[in-house]
Amino acid sequence: MHVAARQQRLIAALALRGPRLRSYLVGMLWPEYPDARALESLRVTVHMVSRQLPGLLVNDGPMLSLSDDVDVDLYRVRAELRELAAGARHNVSAPLLNLRDAELLPGWYEDWVIFEQNRLLQDRLRAFTVLAETSLACGDYSTAAEAAEAAVEIEPLYESAVRLLIRADLNLGNLAAALRTFERYQAKLQHDLGLRPSEHIQKLIANARVHQISVTLEHLLPAP
């Protein structure tokens, strides 16, 4: 159902922040307006939403909220992220795939939206990192690699996620992928921050290269 931008902003604010006083909403949605004009804008917006989408809003005097019958997809996304981080799901492939693309109101740039966008981004980063760690510990290297890759997509310079992705690829026997991940991380770290990778991650790659050379020599040398 299409509604105008002003109505969209009110609906989104109540979906993200929950029930709120009218005075809170006018300050958040129309901070540049004088109080009287902001209150009038809110009144008109509430009227338009109630006419276009009857039952969506609960108008309780000074308090506005969405009806309890309204399903907010953000709440489902956060519930799935909590389940992933807690290891409460046995089959994680489908939710992991969906959550990799879970963006909140893309193209909205108001401060209150950006705050919630960053909050969801950090929730996703945390859940993917925890899932990668637990999957790696359980020997599920494919899931660990997928989860760590999702975390690196969000924050390419997050060393914990990069290290988890490298370890997962190495356990999968994919040295080339591990080296590509390290080289991309090393180049971006140098370009953006002028820093070198930590000794820990350099040692991880060095040991992997030594192991690969050892395996290659074993195959080249004749059997005794």
As a whole number of angstroms, the distance between CA 98 and CA 78 comes to 12
Decide if pLDDT at 139 tops 90: yes
pTM: 0.83
Backbone φ and ψ for 59, nearest 5 degrees, come out as -100, 95
Average pLDDT estimate for 7-14: 97
Arch. (CATH architecture) of 73-220: Alpha Horseshoe (1.25)
Least confident of 96-105, 120-129, 183-192, 195-204: 96-105
pLDDT tens-digit map of 177-216: 999 999 999 999 999 999 999 999 999 999 888 866 655 5
Least confident of 25-39, 78-92, 142-156: 78-92
The domain limits of the chain are 5-66, 73-220
Mean pLDDT score of the chain: 90
Residue 208, SS3 per DSSP = helix
Residue type, 208: A
Give the Å distances, CA to CA, from 97 to 18, 71, 80: 28, 21, 12
